[in-house]
C-alpha cells in the first residue's frame, strides 16, 4: 500500500514511525513533514491546509490511504474533498469534525444527547461573560468557540485575571473569529485523562488510555499549551473505562449518526474524573498530541491495516492490542512558548539521547539551517520512552530529555509525578 500522512508535528512523526512498521506498506509520504519525519517518510512540500493540492497529489501518486494528523484540515473539509474524488482517507467529514471545530456545537450536542459535561453558558461579549461568571463563581473556565491550537482555554481565579482574559478574547481579539463566541463553564475538580477510540462509522475500537499535561509549568502552573507531556496508561482510570465507553463514546457516535453526521475517524474525549463520575471537558477528532506518541509505542499489530479497514467502513479486528509496559513522553519546548517561542537555536545531543535504551524521539518544531538541526517552533521535540512500569518509562524519558540541549530549551519536570505518588510506587 501507498500511504500519505498529513501534518508536520510530533504526532505525525510518531504516526509515520508506526505505519512504517506495517508489512503492507510499500511507500510512505508525509505532507509537509519535518526533518525527523523525512527519515522515515518521503516529504511532500504541500501545506496541511491546502486540501485541494493534497487531493491532487494523492490522486496522482495513487495513494491507497491518507491519514490526517492535525485538526485544521479536518475542519476545512479535507475528508469530504478526498471522498468526493474517490480517494481513501481516514478521518471525519467536515460536519462531524465540528465536534472539535466548535466548542459551542460540542457543548450543545452533549446537552442534547445527555452526555455528561460541565454546566455552561454561551456568551458573545465581555459583559455577558461577566454575568455568566457570577453564576459559576471562581475559578471558572473560558473557551474560545473555534480552533486555537490548544491555547484557547483560560481559567481565571479572580476578577483581575478574568478582566485580563476577557481583554484577550474580546478587545485584543487574539483568537480572531475563533472567539466570536465563548463558552463559560463551571470548573470541574478531579483528575484529567484522555480517552481515545477509533470509529468506522458504527463500531468503536478503544485505544489505550493516556494522560496529558496541558499547563506550561510544574505543578500545573502557567498558561494552557498544546501539551507538555503525556503517558500511557493513564494510571488513574481505575474501573471507569467501560463507563466512559457506555456513557460518552458510544452515545457520541450514535448521536452524531442520528444528526446525519456519521463519525468515521479518531474520537478523543478529554475527561475530568470527578466525584460524580467522568465529565467531558472537550472533544477532539484526531489523535492527541502528545498522547499519540506513548500510545503508539505501546500499540501492537498493524496500524495501517486497521486504519485502512476503518476508512472502508468495516473494522476487521474486534479490538486493538497494547503492550503491558508503560510509555511516557516529555515535550521539550522553547522559552517563550506558547506566546512567542525563541527560534533558531542549534539542537545538540539528539543522537546520544536517541541511542539510550527504550527511547524514541519524535521531532515537532524543527528545521535544518546551514546543515544543522535547529528549534523552529514552540514544541520542538517529543522525548519518549518505554519501560516495565510508568516509573521506569519516565526515568528513561527524563534521562534522555536532559541529554538534549539548546539555549532556550524548557520542559516540565513533574510529568507523571502525581500519578506515581497516588499509586505509592
Assigned C-alpha cell, 46: 504541500
Give pLDDT, residue 247: 95
Edge-to-edge strand ranges of the sheet holding 120-123: 120-123, 182-186, 140-144, 153-154
Which pLDDT belongs to residue 238? Answer: 67
What pLDDT, on the 0 to 100 scale, is given for residue 414? 98
Q: pLDDT at position 239, please?
A: 65
Q: How buried is 155 (Cβ within 10 angstroms: 0-12 exposed, 13-18 middle, 19+ buried)?
A: middle
| pLDDT at 93 (0 to 100) | 98
* DSSP code for 349: S
Pairing relation of β-strands 215-217 and 366-369?
Answer: unpaired
Q: What share of the chain is helix, strand, coil (3-state, %, to 5)?
A: 35, 30, 35
The helix or strand, by DSSP H or E, that contains position 193, with its residue range, turns out to be strand 191-200
Longest dimension (CA), the chain: 59
Q: Which CATH number is 119-186 given?
A: 3.30.1490.20
Whether the CB-CB separation of 410 and 334 falls below 8 Å is answered with yes
| Amino acid 104: pLDDT | 96
Q: Boundaries of CATH 3.30.1490.20 in the chain?
A: 119-186
- Domain 2-91 sits in CATH at 3.40.50.20
CATH 3.30.470.20, the chain: domain bounds: 189-311
pTM: 0.94
Cα separation, 281 vs 81, whole angstroms: 30
Q: Is the CATH number 3.90.600.10 carried by domain 326-423?
A: yes
Distances (CA, A) of 248 to 14, 232, 278: 27, 20, 9
Angle, in degrees to the nearest 10, between helices 250-258 and 103-113: 100
Residue 150: its pLDDT value, please? Answer: 67
Q: Which residues of the chain are modeled with pLDDT < 70? A: 150, 238-239, 424-425
As annotated, the residues of the chain forming the CATH 3.40.50.20 domain(s) are 2-91
List, in sequence order, the alpha helices (H) in 87-211: 94-101, 103-113, 126-136, 159-166
Residue 177 has a pLDDT of 86
Helix (H, G, I), strand (E, B) or coil at 33: coil
| pLDDT for 151 | 74
CATH number of 189-311: 3.30.470.20
Q: What is the secondary structure of 68-96 as a DSSP string?
A: E-SHHHHHHTHHHHHHHTT--EES--HHH
**Which H helix or E strand runs over 225?**
none
Amino acid at each position: 500500500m501507498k500511504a500519505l500522512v498529513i501534518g508536520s508535528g510530533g504526532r505525525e512523526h510518531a504516526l509515520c514511525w508506526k505505519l512504517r512498521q506495517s508489512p503492507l506498506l510499500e511507500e510512505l509520504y508525509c505532507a509537509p513533514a519535518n526533518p525527523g519525519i523525512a527519515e522515515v517518510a518521503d516529504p511532500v512540500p504541500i501545506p496541511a491546509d491546502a486540501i485541494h493540492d493534497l487531493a491532487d497529489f494523492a490522486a496522482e501518486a495513487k495513494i491507497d490511504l491518507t491519514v490526517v494528523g492535525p485538526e485544521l484540515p479536518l475542519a476545512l473539509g479535507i475528508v469530504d474533498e478526498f471522498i468526493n474524488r474517490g480517494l481513501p482517507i481516514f478521518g471525519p467529514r467536515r460536519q462531524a469534525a465540528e465536534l472539535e471545530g466548535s466548542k459551542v456545537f460540542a457543548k450543545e450536542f452533549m446537552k442534547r444527547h445527555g452526555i455528561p459535561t460541565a454546566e455552561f453558558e454561551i456568551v458573545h461579549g465581555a459583559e455577558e461573560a461577566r454575568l455568566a461568571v457570577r453564576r459559576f463563581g471562581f475559578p471558572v473556565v473560558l473557551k474560545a468557540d473555534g480552533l486555537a491550537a490548544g491555547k484557547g482555554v483560560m481559567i481565571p481565579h479572580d476578577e483581575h485575571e478574568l478582566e485580563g482574559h476577557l481583554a484577550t478574547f474580546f478587545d485584543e481579539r487574539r483568537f480572531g473569529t475563533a472567539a466570536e463566541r465563548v463558552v463559560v463553564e463551571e470548573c470541574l475538580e478531579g483528575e484529567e485523562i484522555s480517552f481515545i477510540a477509533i470509529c468506522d462509522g458504527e463500531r468503536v475500537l478503544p485505544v489505550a488510555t493516556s494522560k496529558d499535561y496541558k499547563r506550561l509549568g510544574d505543578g500545573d502552573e502557567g498558561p494552557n499549551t498544546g501539551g507538555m507531556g503525556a503517558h500511557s496508561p493513564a494510571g488513574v482510570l481505575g474501573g471507569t473505562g467501560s463507563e466512559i465507553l457506555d456513557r460518552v463514546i458510544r452515545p457520541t457516535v450514535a448521536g452524531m449518526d442520528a444528526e446525519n453526521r456519521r463519525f468515521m475517524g479518531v474520537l478523543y474525549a478529554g475527561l475530568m474524573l470527578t466525584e460524580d463520575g467522568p465529565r467531558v471537558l472537550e472533544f477532539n477528532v484526531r489523535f492527541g498530541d502528545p498522547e499519540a506518541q506513548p500510545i503508539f509505542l505501546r500499540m501492537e499489530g498493524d496500524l495501517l491495516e486497521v486504519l485502512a479497514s476503518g476508512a472502508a467502513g468495516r473494522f476487521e479486528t474486534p479490538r486493538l492490542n497494547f503492550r503491558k509496559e508503560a510509555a511516557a513522553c516529555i515535550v521539550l519546548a522553547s522559552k517563550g512558548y506558547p506566546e512567542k517561542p525563541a527560534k533558531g537555536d542549534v539542537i545538540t545531543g539528539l543522537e546520544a539521547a536517541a541511542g539510550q535504551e527504550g527511547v524514541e524521539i519524535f521531532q515537532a518544531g524543527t528545521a535544518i539551517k546551514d546543515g544543522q538541526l535547529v528549534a523552529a517552533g514552540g514544541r520542538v521535540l517529543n522525548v519518549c520512552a518505554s519501560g516495565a512500569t510508568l516509573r521506569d518509562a519516565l526515568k528513561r524519558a527524563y534521562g534522555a530529555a536532559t541529554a538534549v540541549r539548546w539555549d532556550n530549551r524548557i520542559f516540565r519536570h513533574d510529568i507523571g509525578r502525581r500519578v506515581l505518588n497516588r499509586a505509592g510506587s
